[in-house]
Structure 1
Amino acid sequence: MNYKTILHTMIFNLLLALALSACSGADNNHANAVIDDGSEIIANDYKYIKSSGDIRIMTYNSFYCKGNNGTPTFSDENTHRFASVIGALAPDVVAIQELDSSCVHRNKRYLLEEISKYTGIDYELFFGSAANFDGGRIGCGLLVKRSMKVDDVKFTPLPGDEPRMLIQAKFPKFTVFATHMDLNPMNRKESAKLINNKAKKSVVPLFLIGDLNDSPTWKPEQSAFPELMQKFKIVSDASGSLPEQPGVTIDYVLLGQQHAEKIAVTGTHVVRRLSVKGEQLDLSTASDHYPVFADIRLK
């Protein structure tokens, strides 16, 4: 191979790497990335600023706000850290999993309320109380900016070895289902069937968001996605939502196939590093999940 051919090959590989970097939703616009020749694309701001007119829909598992730094502690500091991530990303709608309320050995806190307060954003709270635990309740939740004007909210129990809940929030032009699916694959499959039956009745675009404890890459007998994908499609970054299991994604924003033509997805990211009050944070210590968001626009 002569010098000119080698040079052309190097240029082609460089351009291809840059093109793939630009298209990926996985932090490449806001994090250091290494290209073929070993050079580094320097991080710009890690701020993930939402475009005017977009609606940001996010899911984030709190890990009960005990931190993920090797010594889990149910502390106010860890709750502040988790909430600061939401405050910096400023989602219009965020589903949060692993929440507790009035649990004796967790200072009888109302975790969703504390998170909401510490974000500094005027959110409306919806707690999907699912199971008894330590004298209180645990479940999933939804925070919605008050400017979003929720028309109606319903709660439907889902199958689970640990009881689960589906939160259904109806907005004027779309609906959000938020949940935290069970670890048992049979329960997830039954949950998917129930969710699909509800999805069929929606007259507006429908999003399913949350920690689904599932992946379309798993064997069909272990996954609820063969069922879910009959009515939904994945619209969020799926490059890996678990800090300790690189490349594995179980946190999603799904869009119902029915009425999907009324929605434009303008951006999506799994957020691993984030600028919070001028400091760049490694989010692997805030929770055992990364936040996942999709920015959407109504057509």
Structure 2
Amino acid sequence: MKNLLFLVFISLTAYANEGAVKPADRPAKKIKNLTVMTYNIHHCNPPSAGTKIDVEAIANVIKKEKPDFVALQEVDVNTERSGKGLNQARELARLTGMNFFFSKAIDHQGGDYGVAVLSRFPILDSTRFALPVDATVGGEPRTLAAVTVEIAKGKKIIFASTHLDLKEANRLSQSELIVRHFAKSSLPLILGGDFNALADSKVIRFLDENFVRSCQDCAPTIPVKNPNRAIDFILFKPESAFKTVSTTVIDEQYASDHLPVIVKLQVK
């Protein structure tokens, strides 16, 4: 498939492991449950606040839920609109006391724009890769950020964040690449993201064949006022690794234009 010529795998560690690492982050002998969030943060710009950047508002939403992992989308690093010198991924990690990894998708206003991961656990390894965009279709370059962590002694998992394109043709090829890439791994995987696709779309149906979605009748995540569609999901594999305890969409209408999703997983 010629659009895969766009694919470039790049290991990127410069943005990893710069969040706070506390003694409590050390892996326990056993862990029963994980709390996972996915959140499109709209570059920390509350839609009702004009051009204001409010990183603390996003951090407060995260801190209230006390997640072990957060998949972030629409993250600015050193852009003009968010303030040169402001790495939103790093700042959110600092404010929440977590570790982070940022994956750039595009150049934007003199800085970088992409997705990120926050982790309560120390990050052992981190990888970014570009997702394909068909030149005949067009679209914005997209990316995926993945980290490997040890959640309990001897028990490693991968946690990843992504944001798929607005065009379905690209979303399909991007989803296919994600499935192929992680098929090679023997580690359990949790993937959070803004998939820009409804539950009955070709993209989500395809992903459902390869992952377990935390909810089937998922509550809507956008718009924040009177939400009417779900496009933000958390998936995992294999089915034998985790069991969904609950999936909740948080009614937080100020900080972003998406509602955050919180999933509690039982570790099998």
TM-score normalised according to structure 1 size = 0.71
Within the candidate set 50, 54, 78, 2:33 is matched to 54
Within the candidate set 229, 233, 239, 2:219 is matched to 239
Q: CA 1:168/1:91 → structure 2, altered by over 3 Å: closer, same or farther?
A: same
**Richer in helix (by share):** 1
Q: Deviations over 1:157-203 (max 9, x none)?
A: 01242211111212343222210111111111001110111232221
Q: Is the 8 A contact 2:199 2:231 kept in 1?
A: no
Q: Which residue of 2 aligns with 1:103?
A: 79
Q: Is the 8 A contact 2:132 2:170 kept in 1?
A: yes
Q: Is the 8 A contact 2:199 2:230 kept in 1?
A: no
| CA distance, structure 1, for counterparts of residue 208 and residue 109 of structure 2 | 37
Matched, 1:187 2:162: no
Paired amino acid for 1:197 = R
Q: Is the 8 A contact 2:73 2:161 kept in 1?
A: no
Q: Which residue of 2 aligns with 1:144?
A: 119
3-state SS of paired residue (2:35): strand
Matched, 1:165 2:165: no
Q: Which residue of 2 aligns with 1:271?
A: 250
Q: Which residue of 1 aligns with 2:262?
A: 293
Within the candidate set 93, 101, 110, 2:69 is matched to 93
Paired amino acid for 1:207 = I
| CA distance, structure 2, for counterparts of residue 232 and residue 288 of structure 1 | 27
Unaligned runs of 5+ in 1: 1-51, 273-282
Q: Deviations over 1:208-238 (max 9, x none)?
A: 21111111224x4xxx123212211211471
Matched, 1:68 2:63: no
Q: Is the 8 A contact 2:212 2:239 kept in 1?
A: no
Q: Which protein has greater RCO, CA pairs closer than 8 Å, 6+ apart?
A: 2
Q: Deviations over 1:218-266 (max 9, x none)?
A: 4x4xxx123212211211471111124623111100122xx31121222
Q: Deviations over 1:4-28 (max 9, x none)?
A: xxxxxxxxxxxxxxxxxxxxxxxxx
Q: Which residue of 2 aligns with 1:3?
A: none
How much has 1:123 moved relative to structure 2? 1.0
After superposition, residues 199-218 of structure 1 pair within 5 angstroms as 199-218=182-201
3-state SS of paired residue (1:287): coil
TM-score normalised according to structure 2 size = 0.78
Q: CA 1:245/1:214 → structure 2, altered by over 3 Å: closer, same or farther?
A: farther
| CA distance, structure 2, for counterparts of residue 150 and residue 113 of structure 1 | 14
| CA distance, structure 1, for counterparts of residue 213 and residue 226 of structure 2 | 20
Q: Which residue of 2 aligns with 1:250?
A: 231
Q: Give me the identity figure in percent.
A: 29
Unaligned runs of 5+ in 2: 1-30, 134-138, 151-155
Q: Is the 8 A contact 1:159 1:182 kept in 2?
A: no
Q: Is the 8 A contact 1:103 1:137 kept in 2?
A: yes
Q: CA RMSD in A?
A: 1.8
Q: Is the 8 A contact 2:43 2:82 kept in 1?
A: no
Q: Deviations over 1:70-99 (max 9, x none)?
A: x43233xx2211110001111111011111
Moved segments of 4+, more than 3 Å:
none
